[in-house]
Amino acid sequence: MKIQDLVDSLGLVVFTGQTLLDNEVTGGYTSDLLSDVMGFAKEGNIWITLQTHKNVIGVASLKDLSAILLIKGFEPDQDALALAEKEDIPILGTKMGAFEISAKIYNLINS
Amino acid sequence: MKFQYSVEGGDFTMAGHASSQVKKSLKQLGIDSSIIKRVVVALYEAEVNIVAHAYRGVIDVDIESAGIKLKLTDEGPGIPDIEKAMTKGFSTASAAVREMGFGAGMGLPNIRDNSDRFTIDTVVNKGTVLSIEIDFK
Residue ranges and CATH numbers for the domains of chain B are 2-135 (3.30.565.10)
Q: Which residues of A touch B102 (CB under 8 A)?
A: 34-35, 55
Share of chain B above pLDDT 70, in %: 100
CA dihedral sign, ordered A92, A93, A98, A99: negative
Are A34 and B102 an interchain contact pair (Cβ–Cβ within 8 Å)? yes
Predicted local distance difference test score (pLDDT) of residue B75:
98
Query: Is B35's Cβ below 8 Å from some Cβ in A?
Result: no
pLDDT tier, B91 (very low <50, low <70, confident <90, very high otherwise): very high
How many residues in total does chain A contain?
A: 111
**ipTM associated with this complex:** 0.91
Q: Which residues of A touch B107 (CB under 8 A)?
A: 35
Stretch B105-121: mean pLDDT: 96
Average pLDDT score, chain A: 97
User: Between β-strands B127-135 and B117-123, what pairing exists: parallel, antiparallel or unpaired?
Assistant: antiparallel
Q: Which residues of B touch A34 (CB under 8 A)?
A: 48, 100-102, 104
Stretch A9-20: mean pLDDT: 98
Which CATH number covers residue A77? 3.40.1390.20
- With left for phi above 0 and alpha for psi between -120 and 50, is residue B90 left, alpha or beta? beta
pLDDT in tens, B16-71: 999 999 999 999 999 999 999 999 999 999 999 999 999 999 999 999 999 999 99
Predicted local distance difference test score (pLDDT) of residue B137:
87
User: Between β-strands A91-93 and B2-8, what pairing exists: parallel, antiparallel or unpaired?
Assistant: unpaired
Domain count, chain A: 1
Q: How far is residue A29's CA from residue A41's CA, in Å, rounded to a whole number?
A: 6
Are B48 and A61 an interchain contact pair (Cβ–Cβ within 8 Å)? no
pLDDT in tens, B77-88: 999 999 999 999
For chain A, the residues whose C-beta falls within 8 A of a C-beta of chain B are: 32-36, 38-39, 43, 49, 51, 53-56, 58-59, 61-63, 79
Task: Kindly tell me if the per-residue pLDDT of A82 is higher than 90.
Answer: yes
B104 to chain A, closest Cα gap in Å: 6
Look up the domain containing A94 and give its range. 3-109
Predicted local distance difference test score (pLDDT) of residue A111:
87
Predicted local distance difference test score (pLDDT) of residue A109:
95
Stretch A42-62: mean pLDDT: 97
Q: Is A28 helix (H, G, I), strand (E, B) or coil?
A: strand
Q: How far is residue A82's CA from residue A15's CA, in Å, rounded to a whole number?
A: 11
Largest Cα–Cα separation, chain B = 42
